[in-house]
Amino acid sequence: MNKKLSRRQFNQSLMQVSALGLASSMPAISHSRWDLNWFNDEDTHNERWLSAQGREAKDYSLGWINPQEPSSAQALAKFRGHGLCQNPITTDQVLMFSRRPGTHGMRLNIRTGLIDGTFQSQADRYMQGHGCYSADGKWIYCTESSISTGEGKITVRDAETLEQVNEFNSYGIGPHEIKLMPDGYTLVVANGGLLTHPDSGREVLNLDTMRSSLTYIDSRTGTLSSEHFLTEKKASIRHLDVAADGTVAIALQVQRAAMNNNELVSLAAIHKPNQSLTVLNAPEALMVKLNDYMGSVAIHNDTRLAAFTSPKGDLVMFWHLDDLSLQGYHVFHDVCGLAISQDNQYFILSSSSGKVRQINAYSLKIDKERSLNFPKKSWDNHMISISYKRT
């Protein structure tokens, strides 16, 4: 039953949580009013923007923004998070996965603002940073790696208990972002091709032999449906998004140290069913500015535009998925987080200085009236936009 908590009731609930030794999962309101409007179940706009956040270990948390107020809040994580995903059925559940080479994940109930579950990699496994739910919301697929062999793995967890129940190959090394295709059962995986080991942190151990791939895997059987490679072997496929028609936009990072030339490499590409990978081009000066690094990608289905962010180039770039033309770009320092607003009107951009900007998806102009600043927040690499149902 839905009910609106009074401030007293809410404070009492916090005290109970604290008494249970779960103080770390309390929502820490940092930029919002204490009137708890963000917590109001009668709120008709249940849109939230979520991101790993925090600059230092003591601050690492899952942070979120209520864009209507606007306000922000957070739940401490005790690990540096990276990718997030929302349960498509139980829509108040959101997962955050460890940044590589972490081993922890957590589930947040966005309605209560409390962490209601955690999970950990099994022995000989560590996380690669991303995961997604199955279409029925019952399973979680997470990109991980074998410590002993370096093989990429997709672990399968029960979405309710968070227990690992299965595992299959990612058919590559260093799987990073993973998403579900519109058919509801095929997983598309960005195998970055970069071999790392927890003992050596984030150092890439196979620069000479690296081979990145985009793999499609049947989640029902764990079998490989198809795999695709880029011409440039030192381009690492790291992030992706999937359009409603199954077009996949991929963001790349070039391992320049492994190259013996300084030729420009496209950092954005798309893949359409039954076609080969196609790179997206831009004027030389813009491509140079990207510094071999794209950090995130999001597709706006109505306009068929894919946005790509480059924090090392302070740029967001927009390409059309069909004619492959560059439609525009926007300068924003340290931009990385990227999502589509729930009203489908805006690309949402975030930076680690706590800034949030909104670019109209149709005009590609910034709407300065909608800019938000949360100086005490440090939005990490990825942001997702969700709306959740009242239960």
Please identify which residue in 38, 133, 293, 347 interacts with other proteins, judged by CB under 8 A: 293
Interior CA angle at 217 toward 79 and 246, to 5°?
Answer: 95
316 binds other proteins (CB under 8 A): no
Amino acid at 336: C
* Alpha carbons 163 and 376: distance in angstroms, whole number: 34
What minimum distance in Å lies between the beta carbon of 284 and other proteins? 8
H/E run at residue 115: strand 114-120
* Distance in Å, CB of 39 to other proteins, minimum: 28
How many CB atoms are closer than 10 A to CB 101? Answer: 20
258 binds other proteins (CB under 8 A): no
What string of DSSP letters covers 189-207?
EEE------GGGTT--S-T
Beta bridge partners of 64: 50, 73
Q: Which is nearer to other proteins, 333 or 390 (CB)?
A: 333
270-289 residues near other proteins, rule: CB under 8 A: 283-286, 288-289
Of the residues 31, 238, 271, 300, which one makes contact with other proteins according to CB under 8 A: 238
Residue with tokens 């081009």: 281
240, containing H or E segment = strand 235-242
Nearer to other proteins, 33 or 202 (CB): 202
CA 229 vs CA 153, 210, 282: distances in Å: 18, 12, 21
Closest CB to other proteins among residues 86, 350: 350
Q: How far is the CB of 220 from other proteins (least distance, A)?
A: 29
**Does the footprint of other proteins cover residue 79 (CB under 8 A)?**
no
Least distance from other proteins to the Cβ atom of residue 252, Å? 13
Q: How far apart are CA 90 and CA 253, in angstroms?
A: 34
254's CB contacts (< 8 A; 6+ apart) are: 232, 234, 235, 236, 265, 267, 292, 293
Output the smallest distance, CB 89 to other proteins, in A: 29
Pick between residue 113 and residue 174 the one whose CB is nearest to other proteins. Answer: 174
**CA-CA distance, 147 to 113, in Å (whole number)?**
34
CB of 133 to other proteins, least distance (A): 21
Residues in the chain: 391
Q: Which residues 142-181 are close enough to bind other proteins by CB under 8 A?
A: 176
Question: Does residue 55 interact with other proteins by CB under 8 A?
Answer: yes
Structure tokens given for 330 = 């926007």
Q: Which of 31, 48, 99, 228 binds other proteins (CB under 8 A)?
A: 99
Cα 367 → chain centroid? 24
> For residues 194-213, which are near other proteins according to CB under 8 A?
202
Among 26, 94, 97, 100, binds other proteins (CB under 8 A): 100
Peptide bond preceding 182 in cis form (omega within 30 of 0): no
Of the pair 206, 291, the CB lying nearest other proteins is at 291
Query: CB 380 → other proteins: shortest distance, Å?
Result: 6
According to CB under 8 A, which one of 129, 131, 152, 175 is a site residue for other proteins?
129
CB-based contact 51:63 (threshold 8 Å): yes
Using an 8 Å Cβ cutoff, are 357 and 375 in contact? Answer: no
Question: For residues 322-381, which are near other proteins according to CB under 8 A?
Answer: 329-336, 351-353, 365-366, 368, 378, 380-381
Summarize as ranges the residues that interact with other proteins (CB under 8 A).
Answer: 55, 82, 99-100, 129, 176, 202, 238, 253, 262, 264, 283-286, 288-289, 293, 295, 311-312, 314-315, 329-336, 351-353, 365-366, 368, 378, 380-381
